[in-house]
Structure 1
């Protein structure tokens, strides 16, 4: 965490680069792509997912990240299919969804875990096809230590949803984000949704081990790795979450990881308070 803070301070001391790329207004973007977004969000394959839309705001998040239907988009650490179904149907006509899996040689991964990561990447197209009902040919995947030749600089967007805390506590955020940056086109963008700690949370609490990170720390850290913050949103905010649970974010729904008394306290609070950040790859 000390490294994170020092890096953040360095980044904030460097003047931000001028924005030479016009970013469309999120509301106007949503209106322009309303039909495609609605078609993805309301697809029958998402029938069991919709209960969480009120907390995850997929339509608003897609629009905020300015994901266009014909883009090539990397979904980092796909799992369970929730966002894969949204993105798969949204990009299923003209775009392409790419599953981006951990570099198995980074982080706390033993040999068995490394094999599972590689198997996840190789099986992603078939799994995504099963999740969405779309052809497996619509999807591809890679582990970040084995980027296929010609893939660098081809992605329009990379989305990292509720994963930054893991990268921080596993001490591989630096290497993983650099590899994601290499995959983005010039001017390509990185979208992050992350459980948010209060600004005055202690460094020991907001180091990823509790699932929460401080927003300013995330911004400074990512900017130090060759990105510039271009927009932030409160679309996934939840002021009812104090984000100070001794057991971390896993005390909140949907995990409800406490005892009966704790679960009764958190059950009706909704999901965690989340920052939503959009960065552009620096030239």
Structure 2
């Protein structure tokens, strides 16, 4: 955390990204309670469907592990449907700010959330990028925390992986001493490396190697989001499990009983 003017940061981000879209409003009393994070997670602005996943995604424990504070400038890298975005937006609304960095079309879902809940998204800034290999629209050395949830496999799958580019971009965004938090589907270390290309799971050693190659130091690994029931060898990869359930009714009860994937939770630091 650093002492800063939110207004200055808004101007800085807007100048850096001409397409920045800032949701503004006047009040968010629900997150002003003493235990802000508990209030946010219990907020009626979160859908019942999203709250049902808290048992697998452990948002309070995860954000506390990463050390996210209510007055931080946080970057969420590559948000998808906005599951964590709505929590972070509410949590940071009054004192901090949240920047969303992704390809422009990937931000459509969270833009809809912002339109539906302008008060909650009043301190959210959109920072679209032209391509995954050019994720540098965010001002260098500005973020207190960069977070990415279940994205590394997307960057590493296929014939032209770009995980190294993404970790380099996240390193560049952070201030010295800042934190990178990564949650990712976990592949057992004894599986073939080729499984990382198709399964949606990543070896923890590979994620750590990508981060360290970019200059990060591993601070700590947590089992907050571990699921020992997940064998990580399903017919349709990680998407066999909820919430996707790619096999639809086939063995549905079995996969629901397993729950969401086994996940690594890694905290890195950008050296001073």
By the TM > 0.5 criterion, same fold?
A: yes
Corresponding residue SS for 1:268: helix
Task: Indicate conservation of the 8 Å contact 2:136/2:169, yes or no.
Answer: no
Q: Give the TM-score normalised by the residue count of structure 2.
A: 0.79
Alignment of 1:153 with 2:144, yes or no, is no
Quote the residue 2:151 is aligned against. Answer: 163
Q: Which of residues 234, 256, 263 is equivalent to 2:223?
A: 234
Cα distance between partner residues in 2 of 1:95 and 1:181 = 20
Higher mean displacement: 41-50 or 135-144: 135-144
Task: List gaps (5 residues or longer) in structure 2.
Answer: 1-32
- Counterparts of 1:269-280 in structure 2, within 5 Å, are 269-280=258-269
Superposed CA offset, 1:17-48 (max 9, x none): xxxxxxxxxxxxxxxx9701111111111132
Superposed CA offset, 1:31-79 (max 9, x none): xx97011111111111322101000100001101100000000111122
Task: Indicate conservation of the 8 Å contact 1:125/1:136, yes or no.
Answer: no
Shift of 1:124: 7.8
Cα distance between partner residues in 2 of 1:262 and 1:201 = 24
Cα distance between partner residues in 2 of 1:83 and 1:35 = 18
Change (3 A) 1:210 1:159: same
Cα distance between partner residues in 1 of 2:245 and 2:151 = 18
Quote the residue 2:166 is aligned against. Answer: 176
Alignment of 1:256 with 2:245, yes or no, is yes
Shift of 1:179: 1.1
Q: Which of residues 215, 237, 256 is equivalent to 1:267?
A: 256
Quote the residue 1:215 is aligned against. Answer: 204
Higher mean displacement: 225-234 or 255-264: 255-264
Superposed CA offset, 1:166-197 (max 9, x none): 10115111111111111111111110000001
- Counterparts of 1:32-181 in structure 2, within 5 Å, are 35-48=35-48, 49-101=50-102, 117-121=103-107, 126-130=111-115, 132-134=117-119, 137-144=122-129, 145=134, 147-148=136-137, 151-170=139-158, 171-181=161-171
Cα distance between partner residues in 2 of 1:56 and 1:98 = 21
Change (3 A) 1:44 1:223: same
Cα distance between partner residues in 2 of 1:259 and 1:80 = 20
Task: List gaps (5 residues or longer) in structure 1.
Answer: 1-32, 102-116
Corresponding residue SS for 2:250: helix
Cα distance between partner residues in 2 of 1:248 and 1:279 = 27
Shift of 1:162: 0.3
- Alignment RMSD (CA, Å): 2.2
Task: Indicate conservation of the 8 Å contact 1:41/1:86, yes or no.
Answer: yes
Quote the residue 1:27 is aligned against. Answer: none
